[in-house]
Structure 1
């Protein structure tokens, strides 16, 4: 038995027919049929029942499939490890991040990687966390940066937390609510609300409960978008208001074009961003260099974001504690 036979077996199992599998593994039908029979002879069990011109997996095949996939995966990763040792810092690096992160991190990160390792071939994806996770499962990415709760109970993934976000309600400087204290959800809803970015069901449930909003929560927003540039254009060009993480509007708060509104109760949600990669997969040498850039970036963001208690909120007690809102150090 060899891994080539196992790849043939898995191709037939996944495609459901010899002809479809033969196209995938680039074999003729007779050659693929001989490979399957040879594997069945060696394992001494039938792997497929041939009925109605289709191959149906036997219970033996279904039981053996997971082990076969692991053997093929381990062989591929073994060859990949050797290739990485030969190539050093050359080769490829594929990674992704969300739109709000990419807006301030992607270009500087790519510039630094190209400067440090000009032989690298880089490819990137800007998508929501759920789409990035799906791509990582398909081994289309080496890692992504996103909400680590998406993989909290997934043993096939491993994470490095890099930044704990806080949330707030944001609007342009000079908005009619800018400078007002103790703003209610009803006051917010007199202006267009923009739903932004990826949020899991847990965050949506917390937000709905906090403000007494019905589900689905998206129905309360005039616009729902996962594109950070579109969100910021709407905020800066109108009286729209958006709930967002501090990191997604960091540069605009720093530059003074956006403000965090004094809403009661505050949007006391939390989300942790992290580097997510597949457990057990050999890390490409360039990935660690990329991780250093990511960690340094979020460390600088964390130093720049300083908590401040507005005067109105300092007088107000919520659940026995003072609540804070972020301010960007300038």
Structure 2
């Protein structure tokens, strides 16, 4: 038995078919099938049931998978640690983040990394936190930036919190509810509500309880989308309203095109963004450089954001009108 066979086994287990796994491991179907049979012969147990041209993992396969992953992980880490000692900061860096974070962080981060380490090969993905976590478990990412609640009790992950988000109800400047104070939730219902698809069920349940609304909470939205640019276009171009994080609205709040409505009760829910990586994995020098960029970015946001929460509330009166507006300080 060798780790090459274990990689073949895990590829079939993860992809669910020989043809899909063969593309990943760059083998022909007959060669991959022979590798699996050889591993089964050595382990003396069947790993897959072959029925109707489909492979179904046996209980033996499901039991052995975690140990196989650990063996492959340890071999990869041994070679990786030596390569880092030999090559320094060259090589590849794979990381991901959610769409709302990517909108304000991805491009500046890539530009800085390209400037600091021109020999580095950068590979990025923009996905939901659960998809990023799954990719990290499969060793497809070095780290991701996302909601750290997803790994709160996961001993295999290492987390560094970097920013505590606040949530609010956002709309375009000049919206019919702009300037009104203590807006009840019923006053929002005549307008299209847009749900951010990257919010999790636990967050939706808290919102439903806060406002006395029925579940599933998504049914109260006219649109559900996990694409931050689409969400912002809807808000800026219509009377739509969306519950969202200050991170996802940061640029438009700073530019004054969006406002945070004074909804009563306020949406005093929080989630924390953090850097998530695999515990025990050798950290590449380029990752440390990337982490410094992330920390500096969110530290500057802490000073720039003026949300409606007591953390850093900044308001100004509009001349001639008795109203206040949430602003972003420069």
**Could you say which TM-score interval applies, normalised by the shorter chain?**
0.7 to 0.9
CA RMSD of aligned residues (A): 3.4
Matches within 5 A, 1:1-330: 2-4=2-4, 26=27, 27=31, 37=41, 39=42, 46-48=44-46, 65-306=65-306, 307-308=312-313, 327-330=327-330
Larger Cα-atom Rg:
1
- 1:48, 1:56 within 8 Å by CA — same for their partners in 2? no
- Contact 1:18–1:32 (CA<8 Å) still a contact in 2? no
How far apart are 1:169 and its partner, in Å?
0.7
Residues in 1 aligned to 2:238 and 2:16: alpha-carbon distance in whole angstroms? 55
CA separation of 1:191 and 1:77: change in aligned 2, threshold 3 A:
same
Residue matched to 2:321 = none
Superposed displacement of residue 48, structure 1: 3.9
SS state at 2:263 partner: coil
CA distance in 2 between counterparts of 1:30 and 1:262 reads: 65
Structure 2 residue runs without a partner (length 5+): 307-311, 317-324
Query: Hey, what does 2:309 align to over in structure 1?
Result: none
- Which secondary structure state, in structure 2, belongs to the residue aligned with residue 328 of structure 1? coil
Measured against aligned partners, the alpha-carbon deviations of 1:99-136 in whole angstroms (never above 9, x if no partner) come to: 11111111110000000000111111111111111221
Equivalent position SS for 1:190: coil
Residue 173 of structure 1 contacts residue 256 of structure 1 at CA under 8 Å; is this kept in 2?
A: yes
Cα pair 1:163 1:273 within 8 Å, conserved? yes
CA distance in 2 between counterparts of 1:152 and 1:145 reads: 14
Q: Is 2:165–2:271's contact at 8 Å kept on the other side of the alignment?
A: yes
* Offset of residue 285 of structure 1: 1.6
Return the offset for 1:256: 1.1
Tell me how far apart the structure 1 counterparts of residues 227 and 280 of structure 2 sit (CA, whole Å).
32
Residues in 1 aligned to 2:271 and 2:187: alpha-carbon distance in whole angstroms: 26
Distance verdict in 2 for CA 1:114–1:57, change over 3 Å? closer
Residue range with higher mean Cα deviation, 81-90 or 257-266: 81-90
**Deviating more after overlay: 278-287 vs 263-272:** 278-287
Note closer, same or farther for the CA distance 1:64–1:219 as it changes in structure 2 (3 Å cut): closer
Query: What is the CA–CA distance in structure 2 between the aligned matches of 1:82 and 1:244, rounded to whole Å?
Result: 44
TM-score, normalised relative to structure 2: 0.82
**CA 1:14–1:100: 2 relative to 1, 3 Å:** closer
Note closer, same or farther for the CA distance 1:20–1:246 as it changes in structure 2 (3 Å cut).
Answer: closer
Tell me, what secondary structure is at the counterpart of 1:96?
strand
Relative distance call for 1:273 and 1:9 in structure 2 (3 A) is closer
Change (3 A) 1:281 1:326: farther
Q: Secondary structure at the match of 2:198?
A: coil
Q: How many pairs are equivalent?
A: 312
Deviations 1:199-245 (Å, cap 9, x if unpaired)? 12221111000111111111111111111111111111111111111
In structure 2, distance between residues paired with 1:196 and 1:59:
39
Mean CA deviation greater in 63-72 or 136-145: 63-72
Gaps of 5+ in 1: 41-45, 312-324
TM-score (norm 1): 0.82
